[in-house]
Structure 1
Amino acid sequence: MQATLILLMQMTKKDIQLAIRPDVGGEFFQWFNFRLSGQIGEQYVLNILNAGEASYLEGWENYQAVASYDRQHWFRLPTSYKDGKLTIMVELECETIQIAYFAPYSYERHQDLLAAVQVHPLVTLEHLGETLDKRDLTLVKIGDGAAHKRNIWITVRQHPGETMAEWLIEGLLYSLLDSDNATGKQLLDKANFYIVPNMNPDGSVRGHLRTNAVGTNLNREWQSPSLDKSPEVFHVINKMEATGVDLFYDVHGDEALPYVFLAGSQGTPSYSDRLAGLRDKFSDVLKLASADFQSEIGYEIDAPGAANMTVATNWVAERFDCLANTLEMPFKDNDNLPMKRWVGRQSVLSN
């Protein structure tokens, strides 16, 4: 990832003044990921001066930045927000520390994940097309492709700063492919999986919060994608049309709400009692399977016929008459289980 903070001024160790660099196009910013070097035992105070202009101000309430010395194990730092300024405090235990909005999921780790899963006999990697920065858009196909099986589609990181999404999909992939995992085996007996582990590799490498290389929010492109603005969505839709979709799962992160929850397709024109029943059953089963998930707190449900059809979940539900959900996970600690310290690895374990 590129550096996402600009050093404005360093008055003292107690007042290092920084600013978050916006996504291309300038509409969105909140993601940051940078390295601090200093003296062991010294305390440093980092002030992000443009935090009050960020995309989601509610995201700073009760928020704590994450940090790591080895870039493997992440922990929270004392963080406060006041008068438009985000202040992060750290006392160094090593000379260098990585500090980020959430545990990063690097493009190198993404490539390592693809390489690791492709050796499994049930896995095929398919090149769907190129991004605007000429990176591969890769589909992970799991299963024997039998026509009688359900086709489950999962897309991840349309918004590149929502790194918890790819942490989760890493855990899901390894669980599905674990020969000792009875649940994974049962799922593969009944379904073929089509998983895009990173819908937005360009934005991921550029350090964007929500957009691709030209500033397009991919999750507002599903009704009319184009090769000029949103080739990522264009290529995925083409493949969906070829396979069909029986269940769709779009994985995201929410800046403000400290919970794991689903956002469904209730406002789509063709939403039916059948889909409502499937959604309720899916939610109930997910609560039994994961203590992190809850259904009491989430987004306001769209009125009938009022759904934004440019959003992936709504478009897929309407096009394929299937159960479609957006899974949202928090950037903050999960308030339901605060002792677990929700960072990167916890997203892996929540699958």
Structure 2
Amino acid sequence: MNISSNFDSGNIKVISQNDPLDIQLEINKDHESDFFQWFHFRLESTPFLSHKLHINGLAESAYPEGWEGYQAVASYDRQTWFRVPSKYEEGSLVIDFEPEFSHTFFAYFAPYSYERHLDLLYWAQSHDVCEIETLGKTLDGRDISLLKVGEPSEDKKVIWITARQHPGETMAEWFVEGLLHKLLDDEDPHAAALLSKAVFYIVPNMNPDGSVRGHLRTNAKGVNLNREWATPSLEQSPEVFHVLNKMHESGLDMYLDIHGDEALPYNFVAGSEGIPSYDDRLQNLEESFKSALLAITPEFQDEFGYDKDAPGEANLTVASCAVGEAFKALAYTIEMPFKDNADLPDPYYGWSDRRSYQFGQDTLAAIVNVVDKLR
């Protein structure tokens, strides 16, 4: 029996693997950080033999409440990820599993590999309306890649979408993949309507270093990018530094920042109610967008989410608040669950890569409802 995480986005520490019914594991912290929650590893063992895996020390993880009611995902082919029986008890996630094949992959959520990220970029650039721009380099020397979709003009709105500031929130890039496949479909009516009125600037992965390293929340230097938007720097957060500079160059009329939430089993949005410039116009835009999304998909709801900031008390280091204030624009953080959507539970898959993909497509359709009102 052997357990390995020596691959893209792998993360696990093996404490003991001698007894298949008593496998003891821990999750490595993000580099130069105390954050940890993301795991991704491969079990090589005997098919149809019972295994009990304990992932320990989770009371000290980034979001201990995220383990309550959580079921790990597994895959034999790294294409289809299904939920496996898991129970959180006394600070450990205990996974009971009988593999059908000799090699099984486990992860916190369906991984989105760096190779798939590159495939998405270069598939997108094969469309006439899309081009790639390299904004700069990460601390590990990877490209900070932007996709521009559509032809800019003075009368077109400018819509920005970023994903995976927190690299372990892989559902965010699955969401963007779905959105891009719809936006670049030349027979899709929502895409046609939007591209006649707007140009899109999309960063599918804001944090490629953290993604490859198997981090939950930080970049190569242990920095949480979604707390860097007030004063980004090339030394600490070049990813935010370059993206924010490009936003100021292109202008911005709407911004969506795509994330995943460990604890809440719902899809929801977090707005910019607490920014100093929040007014009736921004409130009406928020309500129009939410109403459209509620009408389009039952996967979205507006009852459960984060507490709204009091007027003037927004955290302006957070992307959606900082950008909303800087551009006086509609700016939302979109959150998806690591667990399942409690409103539409699926015991076999839970919230999944496929559902994230579809939610990205539905969200693009909802933008049609607000695009004419953004200025």
TM-score (ref. length: structure 1): 0.99
Map 1:254-333 to 2 at 5 A.
Answer: 254-333=261-340
For the 8 Å contact 1:161–1:207, the answer to whether it is kept is yes
Q: Does 1:342 align with 2:348?
A: no
Number of the residue aligned with 1:32: 39
For the 8 Å contact 1:66–1:343, the answer to whether it is kept is no
| Aligned-partner SS, 1:204 | helix
Hey, what's the Cα distance between the residues in 2 that align with 1:122 and 1:343?
A: 29
Map 1:62-77 to 2 at 5 A.
Answer: 62-77=69-84
Hey, what's the Cα distance between the residues in 2 that align with 1:46 and 1:230?
A: 36
Poorly superposed stretches of 4+, deviation over 3 Å: none
Hey, what's the Cα distance between the residues in 1 that align with 2:81 and 2:29?
A: 24
Once the two structures are TM-superposed, the CA of residue 26 in structure 1 deviates from its matched residue by 3.0
Structure 1: give runs of 5+ residues left out of the alignment. Answer: none
Number of the residue aligned with 2:136: 129
Q: Which of 135, 143, 154 is equivalent to 2:150?
A: 143
Once the two structures are TM-superposed, the CA of residue 2 in structure 1 deviates from its matched residue by 4.3
What letter corresponds to residue 242 of structure 1 in structure 2? Answer: E
Number of the residue aligned with 2:372: none
Once the two structures are TM-superposed, the CA of residue 344 in structure 1 deviates from its matched residue by 1.2
Hey, what's the Cα distance between the residues in 1 that align with 2:316 and 2:33?
A: 24
For the 8 Å contact 1:81–1:87, the answer to whether it is kept is yes
What letter corresponds to residue 80 of structure 2 in structure 1? Answer: H
For the 8 Å contact 1:35–1:99, the answer to whether it is kept is yes
Hey, what's the Cα distance between the residues in 2 that align with 1:325 and 1:3?
A: 30
Identity %: 56
Number of the residue aligned with 1:219: 226
Once the two structures are TM-superposed, the CA of residue 342 in structure 1 deviates from its matched residue by 1.4
Once the two structures are TM-superposed, the CA of residue 290 in structure 1 deviates from its matched residue by 1.8
For the 8 Å contact 2:9–2:215, the answer to whether it is kept is no
What letter corresponds to residue 250 of structure 1 in structure 2? Answer: D
Hey, what's the Cα distance between the residues in 2 that align with 1:299 and 1:83?
A: 27
Number of the residue aligned with 1:198: 205
Hey, what's the Cα distance between the residues in 1 that align with 2:107 and 2:134?
A: 31
For the 8 Å contact 2:12–2:28, the answer to whether it is kept is yes
Residues 132-168 of structure 1 show CA distances to partners (whole Å, capped at 9, x for unaligned) of: 0000000000001122110000000000000000000
Hey, what's the Cα distance between the residues in 2 that align with 1:2 and 1:207?
A: 4
Structure 2: give runs of 5+ residues left out of the alignment. Answer: 1-7, 361-375
Once the two structures are TM-superposed, the CA of residue 125 in structure 1 deviates from its matched residue by 0.3
What letter corresponds to residue 265 of structure 1 in structure 2? Answer: S
Hey, what's the Cα distance between the residues in 2 that align with 1:179 and 1:304?
A: 42
Root-mean-square deviation (CA, aligned residues, Å) is 0.9
Q: Which of 158, 162, 171 is equivalent to 1:164?
A: 171
Once the two structures are TM-superposed, the CA of residue 43 in structure 1 deviates from its matched residue by 1.2
Number of the residue aligned with 1:16: 23
Once the two structures are TM-superposed, the CA of residue 90 in structure 1 deviates from its matched residue by 1.2
What letter corresponds to residue 129 of structure 2 in structure 1? Answer: L
For the 8 Å contact 1:316–1:324, the answer to whether it is kept is yes
For the 8 Å contact 1:28–1:54, the answer to whether it is kept is yes
| Aligned-partner SS, 1:92 | coil
